[in-house]
Chains A and B, each alone.
Chain A
Amino acid sequence: MIFNSFIFLFAFLPVAFIVYWLLRGKQVRYLWLTAMSYIFYGYWNWRFIFLMLLVTTVDFALGLFIDRAVTSKKRKILLSLSIITNLGLLGFFKYFNFGLDALRIMSSTFGLDLALPILSIILPVGISFYTFQSMSYTIDIYRKQLSPTKNFLEFACFVSLFPQLVAGPIVRFREIVSDLENIDKLEKSKAMHKGINFFVIGLAKKVLLADSIALIINPMFNNYALLGTVGAWLAVLGYTYQLYFDFSGYSDMAVGLGYLFGFRFPQNFNSPYKAINISDFWRRWHISLSTWLRDYLYIPLGGSRLGNTRTYVNLLLTMLLGGLWHGANWTFVVWGGYHGALLALYKAFQKQYDQLPVALQKSLTFLLVIIGWVFFRSTDFSMANSLLRKMFNLKKLFDLNSNFWLATFSPHLWLMALLTAAFLLAHFTKNTFEIRWKVKLVHAALLGFIFVLALIFMNYKQSVFLYYQF
């Protein structure tokens, strides 16, 4: 089920919400939310709810065992079991064929012809998110930063919580444990206005901006060979904003839904395109993933404590794996490596870079991020290479007589209007977490109008969120 569907908006959500608030008591509320979350997840493919149940059961039990284990060795073994289970499942469903393919390429370079099978594996939606979420729970217990819950339903509710189940933010148990513990003490929804504001604005970001941009740029990417310099820039810029409004729209909707049910989810986007350097960008983009990678990968690798060279290597490694997390494709790995290299370069030349005028820093950061998205969007390297060549073919850019400028796809007026709106919103306005939401009736009426506008566009063409594929 997706948030921007009629079944979710007019059947699932009202039922889930009303019954939740009519129920009293911890256990029944955990049970209700868990049941609804499983229905939400199973609506896509019911078989995969058993996978989520397996992850939940294993990590719940291991969390308790780790806490009770006396020796350090035993604790390590139990944690390893949790990590192997989570990464094993993630690895099998997401990277099995990719791994075999890599093995095939490697073996062929040594003159070996391995007859490896290709399995037809369906990637369970949201597996990258809930395995990371569940894994952070056992790691935090191992690090003695968290006491395990003894309530299975509470943990099951945490892992499956439908508002953020399939595309984040990656919520850690310790971040919402107080909301979970006090789930029975909330008698009435007091943040409904915040929930509606976040949800409707998220929906509008997704449906009105991201999807409208996608409708124009997808055919451009499908025919990228025909694009001229301007066309390539328009397509890549379009994708830059599409991805941001799609993903931050989803996050806003998730946060809004959280408010409706009495949960406060962490901020996942903090106006990333306003970043002044690449390090700042990663403090603002997909915050829940970057902090997860920082806390559970970069710092355990040594972080910046082991000298400059080791810091650069750690940054590169963390970002390479971060790239791979997004999908089983070398383009994602290169995208991660590219950002790792940028972070390392920034560390190395931070003093000089920080002295540049802020406007220049912002523009440079934005340009570097856009270049990265070319790899992220491309299906293979030849596409990325072709797009980058077209974008930076300055000789042709100023050649007014060349139809290479606008070959086939002339700048689309509607796309230009959308990009202008996206540019102003992403670079110059407050983000949803910076706005102080007041309980004003005029706002409610205006939100009603925006919601209907979003419904109109949803009715034309529904599309899934980009981050569902990760």
Chain B
Amino acid sequence: MIISAKKILAKKELCFVFTFCASVIFFISFIFTLSVFVDPRGIFGTNLIKPVILTNRTEKLNVLGAKNPPPEIIIFGSSRVFEMDPLLVQKYSGWRAYNASVSYARPEEYLSMAKYIVNDLGIKPKIFLVGFSVGEFNNDDIDPQTIMSPLLRKYLPISRKQILIQGIKIFKESINPRYLRDIGLALFWRATSYPDEQVAFDENGYQKFDKNAPINRERISQSRPAVDLFLNLTNLNSERKKYFESFLKFSGDNNIEVIAFITPMPGISLQALRKQTQYETIYQELVALMNGLENENYFKFYDFSGTNKFNGDEESGFNDSTHPSHKNLDIIVKKIFGGKT
């Protein structure tokens, strides 16, 4: 390489180019090092500084592994089921429950978490209860926390090559302004104090929150986050459909019943989605898929996509444009398990 460089560059130019390249390498390495050590999104698992986003995959699985006796119902899903109460599930079903929902969960998370729970933790629950929104079968990349987690990575239904490509992509993405902002934020909070609005969980995986907090109607009326779930989406992601089917098969093979339901969104969000996105087509496709799977598997499906489908609480049953609050989730638990007691 040096011989080639001397052949193509005049001497003074060579020093200039060398300094330029050294400077580029230095600054890129500096940012990479900072990304790994500060780890503001909990991707690299460094754990030196508290991440600025939720890193609940490993934590929830570790708590679950230590449960004795183990739960008989495990709740999967994204932040949309954070407020599903395991005690209420236990009250109506008669079985111990644990809320293993994690942020940005998609079907690949249900699959890899289910496999880890059964194969590695040796827990064989009676039911996997899964809540997902229609938009969760979208084309988003697999969550970096799942790819970088040694617990879950091995159970991801993708090849090693794909994991490697995704890993490189995650490293590359760590050089962008938003990531740098998160590094700054993590360091700032570490130096000062962490903000009050931090999400924390009880021992049974249930989110800690103030049940008497006033309803934030402004957040509910902003339909942008709901619309973002469906951006450039015309139909369900075929890979995610396969992951969900694999999850059902794995559960069936282990005699674990799966109960799945579509989480509700406020009417105002559904209205915006029908107007601005292909929501209706995607929703119909999802319902048809679930109905088809219901016939073939040890699986029960409920469509609670709107409050009208389960006599939900439209007025005060939501935290924002896509997240049902404990009020609607409590009604859903009663709907699913009410008849069992």
Interface string of A1-35 (1 = CB under 8 A from B): 00000100000000001100110000000000000
Contact A192-B13, Cβ < 8 Å, known A444-B19, A456-B176, A459-B173: yes
The contact of A22 among B8, B23, B27, B177, by CB within 8 Å, is B8
A188 to B178, CA, bound (A): 41
A 174-218 contacts with B by CB, 8 A: 188-193, 196
Q: A445–B175 contact, CB under 8 A?
A: no
Q: A190–B13 contact, CB under 8 A?
A: yes
Contact A452-B27, Cβ < 8 Å, known A457-B177, A459-B172: yes
Q: Which residue of A lies closest to B28 (CB)?
A: A452
Q: B176–A448 contact, CB under 8 A?
A: no
Contact A21-B7, Cβ < 8 Å, known A192-B16, A448-B26: yes
Q: Which residue of A lies closest to B178 (CB)?
A: A460
Q: A448–B21 contact, CB under 8 A?
A: yes
Chain A min CB distance to B57 (Å): 25
Contact A439-B20, Cβ < 8 Å, known A449-B27, A452-B28, A460-B177: no
The contact of B17 among A22, A192, A446, A455, by CB within 8 Å, is A192
Instruction: For B24, list chain A residues within 8 Å (CB).
Output: 448, 451-452
Q: A445–B8 contact, CB under 8 A?
A: no
A448 to B27, CA, bound (A): 8
The interface residues of chain A, by DSSP majority, are classed as helix
Contact A456-B175, Cβ < 8 Å, known A448-B20, A449-B27: yes
Instruction: For A445, list chain B residues within 8 Å (CB).
Output: 19-20, 22-23
Q: For the complex, is A441 an interface residue (Cβ under 8 Å from B)?
A: yes
Q: B23–A448 contact, CB under 8 A?
A: yes
Q: For the complex, is A447 an interface residue (Cβ under 8 Å from B)?
A: yes
The contact of B31 among A440, A446, A448, A452, by CB within 8 Å, is A452
Instruction: For B20, list chain A residues within 8 Å (CB).
Output: 196, 444-445, 447-448, 451
Q: For the complex, is B4 an interface residue (Cβ under 8 Å from A)?
A: yes
Contact A456-B21, Cβ < 8 Å, known A21-B8, A444-B16: no
Instruction: For A456, list chain B residues within 8 Å (CB).
Output: 31, 175-177, 180
A190 to B13, CA, bound (A): 7
A457 to B181, CA, bound (A): 12
B 11-40 contacts with A by CB, 8 A: 12-13, 15-17, 19-24, 26-28, 31
Q: A441–B15 contact, CB under 8 A?
A: yes
Q: A441–B16 contact, CB under 8 A?
A: yes
Q: Could you say which of A196, A446, A459 has the most chain B C-beta atoms within 10 Å of its C-beta?
A: A459
Instruction: For A190, list chain B residues within 8 Å (CB).
Output: 10, 13
Chain B min CB distance to A142 (Å): 39
Q: B23–A444 contact, CB under 8 A?
A: yes
Q: Which residue of A lies closest to B13 (CB)?
A: A192
Q: For the complex, is B215 an interface residue (Cβ under 8 Å from A)?
A: no
Chain A min CB distance to B139 (Å): 18
Q: B8–A459 contact, CB under 8 A?
A: no
A390 to B229, CA, bound (A): 35
Knowing that A22-B4, A448-B22, A449-B27 touch, tell me 5 more A-B residue pairs with CB under 8 angstroms. Answer: A188-B13, A196-B17, A441-B15, A444-B15, A459-B176
18 contacts between A and B (CB under 8 A): A17-B8, A21-B8, A188-B13, A189-B9, A192-B16, A192-B17, A441-B15, A443-B16, A445-B22, A448-B22, A449-B23, A449-B27, A455-B175, A456-B176, A456-B180, A459-B172, A460-B176, A460-B178
A interface residues, Cβ below 8 angstroms from B: 6, 17-18, 21-22, 188-193, 196, 439-441, 443-449, 451-452, 455-457, 459-460
- 3 pairs of A and B residues whose beta carbons are closest in the complex: A448-B23, A21-B8, A444-B19
B interface residues, Cβ below 8 angstroms from A: 4, 7-10, 12-13, 15-17, 19-24, 26-28, 31, 172-173, 175-178, 180
